[in-house]
Structure 1
Amino acid sequence: MITPFPFTAVVGQDDLRLALLLNAVSPAVGGVLVRGEKGTAKSTAVRALSALLPEVAVVPGCRFSCDPDAADPACPDGPHEAGTRAQRPARMVELPVGASEDRLVGALDIERALAEGVKAFEPGLLADAHRGILYVDEVNLLHDHLVDLLLDAAAMGASYVEREGVSVRHAARFLLVGTMNPEEGELRPQLLDRFGLTVEVTASREPDQRVEVVRRRLAHDDDPAAFAARWADEEAAVRQRIVAARKLLPSVRLGDGALRQIAATCAAFEVDGMRADIVMARTATALAAWAGRTDVLAEDVRQAALLALPHRRRRNPFDAPGLDEDKLDETLEEFAGPDDDPDPDPGPDGPGGGGGQPAPDAPPRGGDTGARPEAGEDGEPQPSGAGEQSAVGAAEPFRTKVLSVPGLGEGSAGRRSRARTEHGRTTGARRPRGALTRLHLAATVQAAAPHQRARGRSGPGLVVRRDDLRQATREGREGNLVLFVVDASGSMAARQRMSAVKGAVLSLLLDAYQRRDKVGLVTFRGAAADVALPPTSSVDAAAARLESLPTGGRTPLAAGLLKAHEVLRVERLRDPARRPLVVVVTDGRATGGPEPVALAARAARLFAADGVASVVVDCESGPVRLGLAAQLAGELGGTAVTLDELRADAIAGLVKDVRRRAA
């Protein structure tokens, strides 16, 4: 068995450790979402927390970890015999990103249910995590329908599994922890809101702290058991403090003054709904219990706001989560009671002190458990060239209509193009490949009915065999790869159009964010093309690259198209099921290299030969139009639309035209 890295040995990361500990004291806080770059101790800290949780009493043999003092009367393994009990460590269950729905919630054996009338249920990960920790690494990459199931179970404290009228319910109360790297894509705002607390983590830039991180990581890797033994006393002290805080929690008083501050803070930051108020109240109460107090103070409210509100006040998908601490302090001071201190200094053992965990050589912020390369390898390239202009800001984004890829795909679940999916409307039936998960009842009965006399049917029931079972086929929506190919040459800047162009691309990026697409960005200017952003789920990263994009130089249109074609070739190997949609943003001019127009036409025909859906956003302006973008669209096998038409209802006709050309 691998000895985990001790929780108290994690260097720095005070906010992360505190948020995890508060949920250990009060699971009603609602879990933690940990956001941060790779190599910042996110997973290490979460996995280490399970060793600090007190043991749980369970009914022996119960697969659902029922509490012997309050057994679930609806437990599928019940009823339980009174007086029997056993102790076991709290579990940490990890949900893989590629898990199926049945693996998460459990599976009913439909074949036995139909043929034998037996309700056979195999518990899933939600049952395993009951009264423990459920950890989802890269939660932002988890399919939406799994995230919905996960968060519904966390909110209700129970999991429901239903298949064709056969249902099972069991308790599922757990500490939910998700980690994510924002560069790989964001969670939808409504899912962000379901996590109680959020923490942003970064690697320390202090050399001394980084040295200590490396020293501890190497010591643990050399001899995990000996390293854990050196931290055993600190681990035991934190474990005892968690137990003491849990016992004290019911006695903590949340006064009217603290409640007024909570309500005023949520109102001041314009958060939606009442969940933020409730989470702040529970967090402030847990903070008081963790500090060994029975009264909630202003310092608890302030710390609760810093943990519970940053991810709830986002108004734009491309806005980074955060909280204006000056505004927070002003609000707390305005609504402070006569005995409240609006600007407390709790000291090392208070709410912001990392829970009293010893880290004598560490600065108060940052840290991880392994060295991390310096940032910059993904930085925006800045090629030089005649006529180069600095980046201009994007115009105000606007709502666009849906651009979809023609045909029926089989890509990852999303909201753009038609696809065969596990969720959606039923369109037919087929024989199951492997385990049956979605029974098509009518087709199954129809397949079994002709054989009833031969099978000796004598009663009212239907004799069903394996060969009769039919799996429902469903049609829903998929996410696509939207690859933007943006002209950043001097001709785009000369007419002051780049701001409008960036606004249009930003609008399409917002649409891609909402439809769960992957996006990529290729730019061309001067003498070459650059992959400004390889295909990624992080629409935020694409927006940032777009905002900083300078313009100038010649127009190597062919180079841009060839670079885009190469990006699609590589991505097709990595993710063959995800269909691409290429959006070329240009005025159609080609001025770079020998025979630029002919070369661009040949490059465009590569997309048409591969059947890639494409749209050209025509940026040409002025009283005289050359129609070059429309010619390019014809070579691509796609269609062209002007910047003005991108805003109008004419896009509905554009989508039909894309489909007609691809038919």
Structure 2
Amino acid sequence: MNPPGLSQASQAWQDAQLALMALQVDPVRLGGIWLRASHGPVRDNWLALLKASTLKTFRVPGQVDDERLLGGMDLAATLQSGRVIHQPGLLAQAHGGVIVLPMAERLPSKVAAHIAQAQDCGQVHATHAHITSQAQFSVIALDESEEDEACAAQGLTERLGLWLDLRDVSMAQSDATLEALGQVERQEAMALLERMETSPEQVEALCQTAWALGVDSLRAPLMALRLACVCAALEGRDAVEPSDLQLAARLVLGPRATRMPAQPDEDQEPPPPEQPEEPPPEEEPQNEPPEPPPEDEQEPEPPQEALEDVLLAAAIASLPPKLLDRLLMGKASTKAAHGLGNSGQAKTSKLRGRPLTPRPGKPSAGARLHVLATLVNAAPKQRIRQNAPGSGRVVIRSDDFHVQRYAQQTPSCLIFALDASGSAAQHRLAEAKGAVELLLQQSYARRDSVCVIGFRLAGAQVLLPPTRSLVRAKRALSGLPGGGGTPLASGIQAALLQAQMLHRAGSTPMLVILSDGRANVSLAGTGGRVQAREDAQAWAQQWRLSGYPSLWIDTAPQPEPQAQTLANVMGANYFPMPYVQAQRMACVVQDLTAQTRRT
């Protein structure tokens, strides 16, 4: 299907062109394209191909309001005519076309939910009016997120059949054009697609491949089968061949993989089939030649490679990067609704922030009246309320009042609780210092702060109050000594008190604790492993009740059951890391922050 010997970047660019050709043939049932690419000439070249295609595109900004997106009432025409005049929204206008979402990684979850619902139902319900319009469209989500940032929302990307990544494609490679497909015209390909034939074995092979890669959604094999049909139609065939299925598995199933496929055990050979006992041979005349064996007993031909094995090999070639690290974190797929630039969690405000949809309410207690929403709610009722028709006055009552609402992003703070005891210092202390410094360098763009707590000897100490100053962090970490006992309960207690103080101040606390779980100093500062373990479990349970997110990094030479047990009690993500690396630890913590912002 594609020329051999292509580099990975060149293959990605050819896949991007093929995805655009396939979307022109069957845009609705393929769902759309999730394009991960930085703003630059490569993405501009692909968008130029999109503009030159037959697809009708509609650009939807991320901060679009509900009425513009879903449709609603034309206020001026309604007040003038005295009856409700409907104004279609962007989703209804895009019926039969393509919606382009710039900066999809920052798309608000509410807008993504509206688009996903319209894709599932094929229709959209307008606001302030009982009107339903058809809305069958595909979506192109332009994602500019980097490796250390959260990407587009899972509820949106799951419905997009083709996942593309052009971040490694150079400008010279993006000048190449695809000539392997597109041998027929679009109308002819659509006609072939209507009578396309597939076999149950091909459907079963795609489902087996999806199961082996850990793809749980049934949308993925359905869209993979649809893409295989489109590829066959583009080549002028009315039946799907194995090469079409391989291409579909590589483009649709491979990027969605959430686990490494199981490898067969080569040491265990299948037992040989039991041979039936043969009766003693009878005496035959010497002159007669032996009779040939019947056709049923002929030696079978060597079996060909199973179709699901071929598709699995094709899908493995496009597994997402850093899959193993995501599996260890317990988050296998790339899912996010907000980028890392949105610091902390969102909360509703009455005075400042990003505008939200107005809600019914009275303008009191600091809430401001939303004049336009109030008029929209009162306009359909004017014919009933006006005593003198044609007077030109708009009658507004208290039940028409709508108030303004805003959403604010609260700042977040990463609390590092470092085990600086004698058994732990030689394993992780230096690497933990390096990880904190790496995270501080990135906290300026995210508006995050970092707090460092060290626990050793008989208690815990706040080494670094919440700050974004890299100089203060280096100075505090450089003076952190190692050695002594492990007062784990004191460390968790200090982290919880610090988190509660941050929460009262309006921040979102997140804990990253580095310890092997071998507590040997109780909360009172005395020795005794049994009491120290009980105190640690008690404070771990207190942390779980607080509901704050947390991550436990176990950097013992061998993963410790005590650490995993305490992580489960805390409700923390457990990450064994016997050989600590500062850069890898920073990536894991960034995954935790992205997961927290999604929730």
1:533 aligns with 2:496: no
Confirm whether residue 26 of structure 1 aligns to residue 26 of structure 2.
Answer: yes
SS at match of 1:293: coil
- Give the Cα–Cα distance (whole angstroms) in 2 for the partners of residues 423 and 645 of structure 1: 43
Question: 1:422 aligns to what?
Answer: 356
Cα separation, partners in 2 of 1:16 and 1:150, compared to 1, 3 Å: same
CA-to-aligned-CA distance 1:335-394 (integer Å, 9 cap, x gap) = 56xxxx948999xxxx9xxxxxxxxxxxx99xxxxxxxxxxxxxxxxxxxxxxxxxx999
- Deviation, 1:611, is 4.5
Asked if 1:178 is matched to 2:108, the reply is: no
Show the counterpart of 2:553: none
Q: Deviations over 1:67-94 (max 9, x none)?
A: xxxxxxxxxxxxxxxxxxxxxxx53222
SS in 1 for 2:49: helix
Query: Structure 1 residues 535 and 20 mapped into 2: Cα distance closer, same or farther (>3 Å)?
Result: farther
Partner residue of 1:257?
A: 201
Instruction: Render the CA deviation track for 1:542-599: whole Å, top value 9, x for unaligned.
Output: 9xx9xxx9x99xxxx99954742699xxxxxxxxxxxxxxxx9xxx999479xxxxxx
2:534 matches 1:648:
no
Specify whether residues 480 and 563 from structure 1 end up closer, same or farther in structure 2 by C-alpha distance, changes over 3 A only: closer
Residues 184-239 of structure 1, C-alpha deviation per residue, up to 9 Å, x if partnerless? Answer: 422343332111221222324xxxxx57359x69xxxxxxxxxxxxx9xx99x959
Q: Which residue of 2 aligns with 1:41?
A: 42
Relative to structure 1, is the Cα distance of residues 92 and 297 closer, same or farther in structure 2, using a 3 angstrom cutoff? same
Q: Deviations over 1:412-466 (max 9, x none)?
A: 8996645557369866456654632896679x99xx99x97xx64589x997447
Partner residue of 2:158?
A: 193
Q: Are 1:198 and 1:308, in contact at CA under 8 Å, matched by a contact in 2?
A: yes
Q: Distance in 2 between matches of 1:239 and 1:465?
A: 64
Aligned pair count reads: 435
Alignment of 1:573-588 (within 5 A): none
Please give the alpha-carbon distance, in whole angstroms, between the structure 2 residues aligned to 1:527 and 1:479. 23
DSSP-derived class of the 1:41 partner = helix
Amino acid at match of 1:422: L
- Sort the Cα spacing of 1:492 and 1:48 in 2 relative to 1 into closer, same or farther, 3 A: farther
Residue 435 in 1 paired to residue 372 in 2?
A: yes
**What are the residue-to-residue correspondences of 1:539-558 with 2, within 5 Å?**
none
Deviation at residue 303 of structure 1 after TM alignment? 1.6
SS at match of 2:440: strand
How do 1:165-564 residues align onto structure 2 when only pairs under 5 Å count? Answer: 166-183=129-146, 184-204=149-169, 210=170, 212-213=172-173, 241-310=185-254, 312-314=256-258, 333-335=305-307, 342=310, 417=347, 419=349, 422=356, 428=362, 432-433=369-370, 435-436=372-373, 456-457=387-388, 464-465=394-395, 470-473=400-403, 480-486=410-416, 494=424, 531-534=440-443, 560-561=464-465, 563-564=467-468
The separation in 2 between residues aligned to 1:472 and 1:492, in whole angstroms, is 62
Q: Report the CA distance between 1:20 and its aligned residue.
A: 1.9
In 1, Cα distance between equivalents of 2:375 and 2:263: 53
Query: Residues 128 and 49 of structure 1: is their aligned pair in 2 closer, same or farther, counting only changes over 3 Å?
Result: same
Equivalent in 623, 632, 639 of residue 521 of structure 2: 623
Q: Rate the CA distance shift 1:646–1:35 in 2: closer, same or farther, 3 A.
A: farther
Q: Which amino acid in 2 is paired with 1:623?
A: V
Amino acid in structure 2 at the alignment position of 1:486:
F
Q: Aligned partners of 2:439 and 2:310: how far apart in 1?
A: 51
Query: What is the CA distance between 1:44 and its match in structure 2?
Result: 3.4
How far, CA to CA, are the matches of 1:343 and 1:394 in structure 2? Answer: 22
Tell me whether 1:133 sits opposite 2:98 in the alignment: yes
Q: Answer yes or no: is the 8 Å Cα contact 1:428–1:474 preserved in 2.
A: no
Report the equivalent of 1:61.
none
Over alpha carbons, which structure has the higher Rg? 2
Distance verdict in 2 for CA 1:44–1:268, change over 3 Å: same
Instruction: Report the TM-score, using the length of structure 1 for normalisation.
Output: 0.51
2:130 counterpart SS class: strand
CA distance in 2, matches of 1:169, 1:325: 48
- Give secondary structure in 1 for the equivalent of 2:131: strand
Measure, in 2, the Cα distance between the counterparts of 1:118 and 1:325. Answer: 64
How big is the shift at 1:281?
1.9
In the aligned structure 2, how far is the partner of 1:173 from the partner of 1:393? 34
**Contact conserved, 1:16 with 1:199, CA < 8 A, in 2?**
yes
| Cα distance in 2 between the residues matched to 1:16 and 1:296 | 21
Aligned partners of 1:95 and 1:137 also within 8 Å: yes
Identify the match of residue 113 of structure 2 among 148, 166, 181: 148
1:487 deviates by: 6.0
Contact 2:362 2:403 in 1 (8 A): yes
**TM-score for both structures, normalised by structure 2:** 0.55
TM-fit CA distance, 1:246: 2.0
What is the distance in 2 between the residues matched to 1:167 and 1:157? 16
Task: Report the Cα offset of residue 288 of structure 1.
Answer: 0.7
Separation of aligned partners in 2, 1:622 and 1:345: 50
- Indicate conservation of the 8 Å contact 1:413/1:478, yes or no: no
8 A contact 2:347–2:408 mirrored in 1: yes
Partner residue in 2 for 1:73: none
Residues 417 and 479, structure 1, Cα contact 8 Å, conserved in 2: yes
Give the Cα–Cα distance (whole angstroms) in 1 for the partners of residues 399 and 375 of structure 2.
10
One-letter amino acid of the counterpart of residue 172, structure 2: E
Q: 1:613 to 1:190 in 2, by over 3 A?
A: closer
Q: Measure the CA separation in 1 of the matches of 2:236 and 2:224.
A: 18
Structure 1 distance, partners of 2:311, 2:544, is 54
Q: 1:496 to 1:243 in 2, by over 3 A?
A: farther
Q: Structure 2: which 5+ runs fail to align?
A: 1-9, 265-303, 319-324, 332-340, 456-460, 482-497, 526-534, 549-599
SS in 2 for 1:178: strand
Tell me, in whole angstroms, the C-alpha distance in 1 between the residues paired with 2:138 and 2:191: 18
Secondary structure of 1:263's partner? helix
**In 2, Cα distance between the equivalents of 1:626 and 1:427?**
53
Percent pairwise identity: 18
Q: CA deviation at 1:654?
A: 8.4
The whole-number CA distance in structure 1 between the counterparts of 2:510 and 2:165 is 39
Q: Does residue 16 of the first structure (1) align with residue 16 of the second (2)?
A: yes
Quick one: distance in 2 between partners of 1:26 and 1:538?
A: 43
Residues 144 and 413 in structure 1, CA contact (< 8 A), matched pair in contact too: no
What letter matches 1:531 in structure 2? Answer: L
C-alpha displacement of 1:279 = 1.2
Task: Give the direction of change, closer, same or farther, for the CA distance of 1:241–1:471 in structure 2 (3 Å limit).
Answer: farther
After the TM superposition, which of the residue ranges 18-27 and 187-196 deviates more from structure 2? 187-196
- For the residue of structure 2 that corresponds to 1:648, the secondary structure is helix
| C-alpha spacing 1:334/1:243, structure 2 compared with 1 (3 Å) | same
